[in-house]
Structure 1
Amino acid sequence: MTSAVSVYSIPQRVLHWLMAALIIFNLLVAEAMEETVEALEDGLVPSADDLAGANLHAYVGIAVLCLAVIRLVLRVVQGAPDAPANEPPMFKLAAKVAHWSFYGLFIAIPFSGIGKYYFGNDTAGFLHGGPLKSLMWLLIAVHILAVLVHQFYWKTSLAQRMTKG
């Protein structure tokens, strides 16, 4: 949903950057989770460090899920800025698809992780560490590239909507 707002609210900006940090953390620091799951599947006891790291990964993922719900509620209630007026229609559509894909991943990735870690569902584990993780990395890269194009090629103030306000 969009509305006549020109910038994201402070809570929306805080959630954006907090979630970005938590997501990047979990994408980069997943080795302990992988080691723990592998040990458990082999009938072994994971090391205390791996188990602590796996639990941290799980808790961060659950936090992302909870924050995503709050972020969605804020987006519905407070709205979001419209795309810059001079942005080509194709890119406006691509931005909408990418943003809603992010929201889908904010929910699907934690739930698939929960499915694997807490319930032993291998399909959920495959989706979590495979296509969903890859899609998240792709969307992050495209998102950053789009901000850079807006900032340096189209010379819009798009980045300021999520930084300075």
Structure 2
Amino acid sequence: MSARSAYSVPQRVLHWLMALLIFFNLLFPDGMNAWRRLIRHGQVPTPADISSANIHAYAGIAVLLLAVLRLAVRFSSDVPATPDGQPAFLHYLAQLTHVLLYVLIFAMPLSGIAAYYLGIDTAAFVHGGPIKSLLWIVVVLHVLGALVQHFYFRSDVLRRMTIG
């Protein structure tokens, strides 16, 4: 595959759509948490509780489906070359961060599906605990990495995923 100067429009749209859905679910899990609390205490959720939990679940399922599509687009499209003039460890750190993001982008909705639809308590614990915490850490590292690339190294890494 040859290198290009920016990510394709489909790659950028998928990236930002997934980012919005992931941030939505990370920042607003209240409906799912309320539903889970009611179920754990043997109470019956109201239709509003169920709707609120479903919104969280559907956003997670959308992330999972978009992640599959994004990988398909990623493996069938050219990607920009690694920026020049930077320490090699940054390239490896970026690769590691991206691999972790993809793993977590799949693990989070799959564990959520196992918890919500299959009632697996361990999946609920892992979903709302370690995976969620690790996802936050990796997302923050990803954002900080893009900002460091843009402001410190003055590379076009951030530009390639925004305006092209």
TM-score, with structure 1 as normaliser: 0.95
1:58 alignment counterpart? 57
2:9 alignment counterpart? 10
Aligned-residue Cα RMSD (Å) equals 1.2
* CA positional deviation for 1:49: 2.1
Structure 2 runs not aligned, ≥5 long: none
Amino acid at match of 1:144: V
1:102 alignment counterpart? 101
2:25 alignment counterpart? 26
* CA positional deviation for 1:87: 2.0
Per-residue deviation, residues 89-139 of structure 1 (Å, max 9, x unmatched): 111001001111111111110000000001111111111001111111111
Which secondary structure does the structure 1 equivalent of 2:117 belong to? helix
Structure 1 runs not aligned, ≥5 long: none
* CA positional deviation for 1:5: 2.1
Which secondary structure does the structure 2 equivalent of 1:119 belong to? coil
The list of structure 1 runs, each at least 4 consecutive aligned residues, that deviate by more than 3 angstroms after superposition, is: none
2:87 is the counterpart of 1:85: no
Which secondary structure does the structure 2 equivalent of 1:99 belong to? helix
Please give the alpha-carbon distance, in whole angstroms, between the structure 1 residues aligned to 2:10 and 2:144. 24
Amino acid at match of 1:108: A
Please give the alpha-carbon distance, in whole angstroms, between the structure 2 residues aligned to 1:36 and 1:3. 49
TM-score, with structure 2 as normaliser: 0.96
1:148 alignment counterpart? 147
1:132 alignment counterpart? 131
